[in-house]
Amino acid sequence: MTVAVVTGAGSGIGQASALRFAAKGATVIVADIDARGGNDTVARVRAAGGRAEFRHLDVADAAGWEEFAAAIVRDHDVPDVVVNNAGILIAGGFLEQSGADWRRMIAINMMGPLFGSRVFVQRMVDAGKRGAIVNVCSVGAFLPTPLGPSYVTAKAGAWMGTQALRAEFAGQGIRVSAVCPGLINTELSANGTRAGLDASSEAEWAAKLARGQQVFGRPPDRVAVAIERAIRWNLATVPVGIEAWAGWYLSRLAPGVMRGITGLAQMPLAEKVVQLSGRVLGGQR
Protein backbone atom coordinates (compact mmCIF):
# COMPACT_ATOMS: atom_id res chain seq x y z
CA MET A 1 0.00 0.00 0.00
CA THR A 2 1.35 3.44 -0.96
CA VAL A 3 2.26 5.80 1.87
CA ALA A 4 2.45 9.50 1.05
CA VAL A 5 3.78 12.22 3.36
CA VAL A 6 2.59 15.76 2.62
CA THR A 7 3.77 18.79 4.60
CA GLY A 8 1.75 21.96 4.90
CA ALA A 9 -1.27 19.74 4.27
CA GLY A 10 -3.63 21.68 6.51
CA SER A 11 -4.78 23.86 3.62
CA GLY A 12 -4.20 24.91 0.03
CA ILE A 13 -1.84 22.91 -2.15
CA GLY A 14 -0.97 20.47 0.62
CA GLN A 15 -4.59 19.71 1.35
CA ALA A 16 -5.43 19.28 -2.34
CA SER A 17 -2.47 16.93 -2.72
CA ALA A 18 -3.47 14.89 0.32
CA LEU A 19 -7.01 14.48 -1.02
CA ARG A 20 -5.73 13.47 -4.46
CA PHE A 21 -3.27 10.87 -3.08
CA ALA A 22 -5.95 9.46 -0.79
CA ALA A 23 -8.41 9.21 -3.68
CA LYS A 24 -5.80 7.10 -5.49
CA GLY A 25 -5.68 4.69 -2.54
CA ALA A 26 -2.66 5.98 -0.62
CA THR A 27 -2.41 6.27 3.14
CA VAL A 28 -1.64 9.95 3.64
CA ILE A 29 0.40 11.39 6.49
CA VAL A 30 -0.91 14.93 6.89
CA ALA A 31 1.91 17.00 8.38
CA ASP A 32 1.42 20.60 9.48
CA ILE A 33 2.30 22.99 12.28
CA ASP A 34 -1.40 23.86 12.43
CA ALA A 35 -3.24 21.02 14.18
CA ARG A 36 -6.67 22.45 13.38
CA GLY A 37 -6.01 22.62 9.64
CA GLY A 38 -4.26 19.26 9.62
CA ASN A 39 -7.12 17.50 11.37
CA ASP A 40 -9.58 19.18 9.01
CA THR A 41 -7.72 17.63 6.07
CA VAL A 42 -7.76 14.23 7.76
CA ALA A 43 -11.50 14.55 8.31
CA ARG A 44 -12.04 15.41 4.62
CA VAL A 45 -9.98 12.44 3.50
CA ARG A 46 -11.84 10.05 5.78
CA ALA A 47 -15.23 11.47 4.80
CA ALA A 48 -14.35 10.58 1.20
CA GLY A 49 -13.47 7.03 2.24
CA GLY A 50 -9.68 7.49 2.30
CA ARG A 51 -6.99 6.84 4.89
CA ALA A 52 -5.09 9.65 6.60
CA GLU A 53 -3.63 10.66 9.92
CA PHE A 54 -2.31 13.95 11.28
CA ARG A 55 1.23 14.46 12.55
CA HIS A 56 2.43 17.76 13.98
CA LEU A 57 5.59 19.06 12.28
CA ASP A 58 7.58 22.29 12.33
CA VAL A 59 9.56 22.04 9.09
CA ALA A 60 12.19 24.49 10.37
CA ASP A 61 13.16 22.10 13.18
CA ALA A 62 15.91 19.73 12.02
CA ALA A 63 15.65 17.53 15.13
CA GLY A 64 11.89 17.46 14.73
CA TRP A 65 12.32 16.16 11.19
CA GLU A 66 14.43 13.25 12.44
CA GLU A 67 11.84 12.35 15.07
CA PHE A 68 9.01 12.70 12.55
CA ALA A 69 10.71 10.49 9.95
CA ALA A 70 11.60 7.83 12.53
CA ALA A 71 7.98 7.71 13.71
CA ILE A 72 6.59 7.42 10.18
CA VAL A 73 8.96 4.57 9.30
CA ARG A 74 8.19 2.82 12.59
CA ASP A 75 4.42 3.05 12.09
CA HIS A 76 4.11 2.80 8.30
CA ASP A 77 7.48 1.76 6.81
CA VAL A 78 9.47 4.03 4.48
CA PRO A 79 7.04 6.27 2.55
CA ASP A 80 6.70 5.90 -1.19
CA VAL A 81 6.10 9.62 -1.77
CA VAL A 82 7.20 12.71 0.14
CA VAL A 83 5.82 16.13 -0.83
CA ASN A 84 7.58 19.05 0.86
CA ASN A 85 5.01 21.81 0.45
CA ALA A 86 4.98 23.88 3.66
CA GLY A 87 5.98 27.51 3.21
CA ILE A 88 5.42 31.12 4.24
CA LEU A 89 5.41 34.56 2.61
CA ILE A 90 7.22 37.67 3.86
CA ALA A 91 6.88 40.64 1.51
CA GLY A 92 8.89 43.85 1.58
CA GLY A 93 12.07 45.24 0.08
CA PHE A 94 15.59 43.96 0.71
CA LEU A 95 16.32 46.45 3.50
CA GLU A 96 12.79 46.47 4.91
CA GLN A 97 13.12 42.82 5.83
CA SER A 98 14.99 42.26 9.06
CA GLY A 99 17.66 39.68 9.75
CA ALA A 100 15.01 37.70 11.62
CA ASP A 101 12.76 37.80 8.55
CA TRP A 102 15.55 36.43 6.38
CA ARG A 103 16.47 33.69 8.85
CA ARG A 104 12.84 32.60 9.24
CA MET A 105 12.28 32.54 5.50
CA ILE A 106 15.41 30.49 4.81
CA ALA A 107 14.62 28.11 7.70
CA ILE A 108 11.11 27.34 6.46
CA ASN A 109 11.09 27.81 2.68
CA MET A 110 14.58 26.53 1.87
CA MET A 111 15.83 24.36 4.70
CA GLY A 112 12.39 22.84 5.37
CA PRO A 113 12.21 21.03 2.01
CA LEU A 114 15.90 20.15 2.17
CA PHE A 115 15.62 18.70 5.69
CA GLY A 116 12.57 16.73 4.57
CA SER A 117 14.36 15.48 1.47
CA ARG A 118 17.42 14.47 3.45
CA VAL A 119 15.73 12.46 6.21
CA PHE A 120 13.56 10.51 3.79
CA VAL A 121 16.00 9.98 0.94
CA GLN A 122 18.38 8.44 3.48
CA ARG A 123 15.72 5.99 4.57
CA MET A 124 14.72 5.24 0.98
CA VAL A 125 18.34 4.40 0.15
CA ASP A 126 18.75 2.24 3.25
CA ALA A 127 15.56 0.32 2.43
CA GLY A 128 16.30 0.06 -1.29
CA LYS A 129 13.00 1.80 -2.01
CA ARG A 130 12.51 3.54 -5.36
CA GLY A 131 10.50 6.39 -3.92
CA ALA A 132 9.61 9.89 -5.06
CA ILE A 133 10.31 13.28 -3.49
CA VAL A 134 8.57 16.44 -4.71
CA ASN A 135 9.58 19.85 -3.40
CA VAL A 136 7.03 22.59 -4.05
CA CYS A 137 9.10 25.62 -4.93
CA SER A 138 7.58 28.59 -6.81
CA VAL A 139 7.86 30.70 -9.91
CA GLY A 140 9.71 32.91 -7.43
CA ALA A 141 12.68 30.57 -7.81
CA PHE A 142 13.19 32.16 -11.24
CA LEU A 143 12.26 35.78 -10.42
CA PRO A 144 14.79 38.16 -8.83
CA THR A 145 12.00 40.43 -7.63
CA PRO A 146 12.38 43.35 -5.19
CA LEU A 147 8.91 42.57 -3.78
CA GLY A 148 10.03 39.61 -1.70
CA PRO A 149 13.79 39.03 -1.95
CA SER A 150 13.99 36.62 0.96
CA TYR A 151 11.13 34.57 -0.49
CA VAL A 152 12.64 34.20 -3.95
CA THR A 153 16.11 33.55 -2.49
CA ALA A 154 14.75 30.73 -0.36
CA LYS A 155 12.74 29.26 -3.22
CA ALA A 156 15.72 29.43 -5.58
CA GLY A 157 17.81 27.62 -2.98
CA ALA A 158 15.15 24.95 -2.58
CA TRP A 159 14.97 24.52 -6.35
CA MET A 160 18.74 24.15 -6.71
CA GLY A 161 18.92 21.76 -3.77
CA THR A 162 16.21 19.67 -5.42
CA GLN A 163 18.20 19.48 -8.65
CA ALA A 164 21.35 18.47 -6.77
CA LEU A 165 19.42 15.76 -4.93
CA ARG A 166 17.99 14.53 -8.23
CA ALA A 167 21.44 14.33 -9.80
CA GLU A 168 22.90 12.40 -6.88
CA PHE A 169 20.17 9.80 -6.38
CA ALA A 170 18.80 9.24 -9.87
CA GLY A 171 21.07 6.22 -10.23
CA GLN A 172 19.40 4.64 -7.20
CA GLY A 173 15.95 4.90 -8.71
CA ILE A 174 14.72 7.76 -6.54
CA ARG A 175 12.66 10.32 -8.43
CA VAL A 176 13.13 13.93 -7.33
CA SER A 177 11.12 16.81 -8.75
CA ALA A 178 10.53 20.53 -8.20
CA VAL A 179 7.02 21.84 -8.84
CA CYS A 180 6.96 25.61 -9.31
CA PRO A 181 3.50 27.18 -9.17
CA GLY A 182 2.57 30.67 -10.25
CA LEU A 183 -0.42 32.41 -8.68
CA ILE A 184 -2.54 29.89 -6.78
CA ASN A 185 -5.59 30.52 -4.60
CA THR A 186 -4.26 29.49 -1.20
CA GLU A 187 -3.93 31.08 2.25
CA LEU A 188 -0.29 32.02 1.63
CA SER A 189 -1.06 35.73 1.27
CA ALA A 190 -3.65 35.82 4.04
CA ASN A 191 -1.15 34.26 6.45
CA GLY A 192 1.79 36.22 5.09
CA THR A 193 3.52 39.23 6.58
CA ARG A 194 4.66 42.56 5.17
CA ALA A 195 7.97 43.80 6.59
CA GLY A 196 8.20 47.44 7.58
CA LEU A 197 4.56 47.91 8.67
CA ASP A 198 2.91 47.98 12.07
CA ALA A 199 0.62 45.10 13.01
CA SER A 200 -2.62 46.84 11.98
CA SER A 201 -1.33 48.00 8.60
CA GLU A 202 0.25 44.61 7.97
CA ALA A 203 -3.02 42.78 8.61
CA GLU A 204 -4.90 45.14 6.27
CA TRP A 205 -2.25 44.67 3.56
CA ALA A 206 -2.37 40.88 3.84
CA ALA A 207 -6.18 40.86 3.67
CA LYS A 208 -6.23 42.91 0.47
CA LEU A 209 -3.51 40.80 -1.12
CA ALA A 210 -5.41 37.65 -0.18
CA ARG A 211 -8.57 38.93 -1.89
CA GLY A 212 -6.64 39.49 -5.09
CA GLN A 213 -5.16 36.01 -4.82
CA GLN A 214 -8.64 34.53 -4.47
CA VAL A 215 -9.84 36.25 -7.63
CA PHE A 216 -6.81 35.71 -9.86
CA GLY A 217 -5.31 32.53 -8.42
CA ARG A 218 -5.83 29.06 -9.84
CA PRO A 219 -7.32 26.31 -7.68
CA PRO A 220 -4.79 24.37 -5.58
CA ASP A 221 -5.78 21.13 -7.29
CA ARG A 222 -3.96 22.39 -10.41
CA VAL A 223 -0.73 22.03 -8.45
CA ALA A 224 -1.77 18.67 -7.00
CA VAL A 225 -2.24 17.41 -10.57
CA ALA A 226 1.21 18.75 -11.48
CA ILE A 227 2.73 16.96 -8.49
CA GLU A 228 1.13 13.71 -9.63
CA ARG A 229 2.43 14.28 -13.16
CA ALA A 230 5.94 15.04 -11.90
CA ILE A 231 6.02 11.73 -10.05
CA ARG A 232 4.54 9.69 -12.88
CA TRP A 233 6.94 10.99 -15.53
CA ASN A 234 9.91 11.70 -13.25
CA LEU A 235 10.11 15.35 -14.30
CA ALA A 236 12.88 17.61 -12.98
CA THR A 237 10.96 20.91 -12.95
CA VAL A 238 7.25 21.49 -13.49
CA PRO A 239 6.02 25.11 -13.71
CA VAL A 240 2.30 25.58 -13.08
CA GLY A 241 0.56 28.43 -14.88
CA ILE A 242 1.44 30.61 -17.85
CA GLU A 243 3.38 33.09 -15.71
CA ALA A 244 5.41 30.25 -14.21
CA TRP A 245 6.27 28.86 -17.65
CA ALA A 246 7.14 32.37 -18.88
CA GLY A 247 9.39 32.94 -15.87
CA TRP A 248 11.08 29.56 -16.34
CA TYR A 249 11.94 30.12 -19.99
CA LEU A 250 12.76 33.82 -19.76
CA SER A 251 15.11 33.31 -16.82
CA ARG A 252 17.10 30.87 -18.96
CA LEU A 253 16.90 32.50 -22.38
CA ALA A 254 17.22 36.16 -21.35
CA PRO A 255 18.13 36.60 -17.67
CA GLY A 256 19.02 40.26 -18.20
CA VAL A 257 15.57 40.96 -19.60
CA MET A 258 14.06 39.10 -16.66
CA ARG A 259 15.96 41.26 -14.16
CA GLY A 260 14.86 44.39 -16.00
CA ILE A 261 11.21 43.39 -15.97
CA THR A 262 11.12 42.32 -12.35
CA GLY A 263 13.09 45.42 -11.34
CA LEU A 264 10.18 47.57 -12.49
CA ALA A 265 7.96 46.08 -9.79
CA GLN A 266 9.19 48.06 -6.78
CA MET A 267 7.33 48.03 -3.46
CA PRO A 268 5.67 51.48 -3.95
CA LEU A 269 4.06 50.19 -7.15
CA ALA A 270 3.05 46.96 -5.44
CA GLU A 271 1.44 48.95 -2.63
CA LYS A 272 -0.67 50.87 -5.14
CA VAL A 273 -1.77 47.65 -6.84
CA VAL A 274 -2.73 46.10 -3.51
CA GLN A 275 -4.68 49.22 -2.54
CA LEU A 276 -6.47 49.24 -5.90
CA SER A 277 -7.38 45.56 -5.65
CA GLY A 278 -8.75 46.18 -2.19
CA ARG A 279 -11.07 48.90 -3.51
CA VAL A 280 -12.11 46.97 -6.62
CA LEU A 281 -12.87 43.82 -4.65
CA GLY A 282 -14.77 45.62 -1.93
CA GLY A 283 -11.97 45.88 0.60
CA GLN A 284 -12.59 49.61 1.17
CA ARG A 285 -15.79 51.61 1.48
Q: Which of 65, 115, 151, 169 is catalytic?
A: 151
What is the C-alpha to C-alpha distance for residues 99 and 222, in angstroms, rounded to an integer? Answer: 34
151 part of the active site: yes
Residues in the chain: 285
Q: Which residues are catalytic?
A: 151
